[in-house]
Amino acid sequence: MARLDGKIALITGGARGIGAAHVRRFVAEGAKVVFGDLLHDRGAALAADTGAVFVPMDVTKQDDWTNAVRETVNRFGGLNVLVNNAGILRYRLLADMTEEQLRQVLDVNLIGPWLGVKAVVEPMKASGGGSIVNTSSIEGYAAAAGLSAYAASKFGVRGVTKAAAQELGRFGIRVNSIHPGGIATELALDPGVADGVGIDPDAFFKALPIPRWGEPDDVAGAAVYLASDESAYCTGTEILVDGGLLSGPGY
């Protein structure tokens, strides 16, 4: 028996990177999957490859959430799992960041997941409960220069997760968060990202207790656990997927 047999999942930001790894792993583990993204061509290609259902989706828009949830329930008869994965990363020093840039990061990374949690409460109640998996970051624990907006959004996701876990437990809805470290995605490997913080990323990751970049599938494994009944007594839980980065100083 696959670990997610009988589960119906909605995944945001699913067309590439960590989100695409979630889609592939959830399908492989037996879930019925709907995923949203702004990348229409890549979303359609992944849907054709996996059998998952793609819906165009901007997580900052309430109407897009309503449509994605409706599509999931109409297509599969319910909704058990939400993976709030969509996010953006912007490196800007405080002095150089505009208010518009700040609000863009907060809208996608924090308001988007909040809208998602709100959107799935009633369908999850109707399905007898469910699991919400929110993607935060190690930047939700310890911020870095140039990441004030990103860190604020990811600290915020931790708070939303804890509050929602308190509110929704009585309905059988669990709410947990994943905190990836450096994961080898297109976004993280963009040379402009490393230039923004002035580090040699390869040297940095070789110094970790697990001396490598993380892979998207490393994060997908944590999401499968939190979505499955294996984590039935976990809510408000935070899972680090960071290669030991936050375990302490390296020597």
Give the model confidence (pLDDT) of 39-91 as tens digits.
999 999 999 999 999 999 999 999 999 999 999 999 999 999 999 999 999 99
**Distance from C-alpha of 49 to C-alpha of 215, rounded to nearest angstrom:** 20
- Opening angle at CA 137, ends 124 and 98, nearest 5: 105
Residues 82-115 have pLDDT tens digits of 999 999 999 999 999 999 999 999 999 999 999 9
* Res 190: pLDDT: 63
**Distance from C-alpha of 32 to C-alpha of 75, rounded to nearest angstrom:** 10
User: What is the arithmetic mean of pLDDT over 103-131?
Assistant: 98
* Res 207: pLDDT: 87
Residue 225 CB neighbour total at 10 angstroms: 18
At which residue do the structure tokens 């609000």 appear?
A: 103
For the ranges 86-90, 109-113, 206-210, 229-233, which has the lowest average pLDDT?
206-210
Phi and psi (nearest 5°) for 110?
-120, -55
- Contact call for residues 235 and 177 (beta carbons, < 8 A): no
For the ranges 40-49, 160-169, 190-199, which has the lowest average pLDDT?
190-199
Long-range contacts of 158-161 (CB under 8 A, 24+ apart): 158/238, 160/110, 160/113, 160/114, 160/117, 160/134, 161/132, 161/134, 161/136, 161/236, 161/238
Q: What percent of the chain has pLDDT over 70?
A: 94
Query: Is the pLDDT at 19 greater than 70, yes or no?
Result: yes
- Opening angle at CA 52, ends 37 and 128, nearest 5: 95
Query: Is the pLDDT at 192 greater than 60, yes or no?
Result: no
* Res 197: pLDDT: 52
pLDDT band at 186 (very low <50, low <70, confident <90, very high): confident
**Distance from C-alpha of 10 to C-alpha of 116, rounded to nearest angstrom:** 10
User: What is the arithmetic mean of pLDDT over 238-244?
Assistant: 96
> What mean pLDDT, rounded, does the chain reach?
94
Q: Which amino acid is at 10?
A: L
- Is 251 an active-site residue? no
**Distance from C-alpha of 79 to C-alpha of 61, rounded to nearest angstrom:** 20
Sign of the C-alpha dihedral, residues 155, 156, 157, 160? positive
* Res 194: pLDDT: 47
* Res 30: pLDDT: 98
E-assigned strand segments in the chain? 8-12, 32-37, 53-56, 81-84, 130-135, 173-180, 238-241
Query: Is the pLDDT at 150 greater than 70, yes or no?
Result: yes
**Distance from C-alpha of 69 to C-alpha of 57, rounded to nearest angstrom:** 11
Pairing of strands 81-84, 53-56: unpaired
Q: Which one of the listed residues 141, 150, 225, 251 is annotated catalytic?
A: 150
* Res 199: pLDDT: 62
What is the spatial order of strands in the sheet that 130-135 belongs to? 53-56, 32-37, 8-12, 81-84, 130-135, 173-180, 238-241
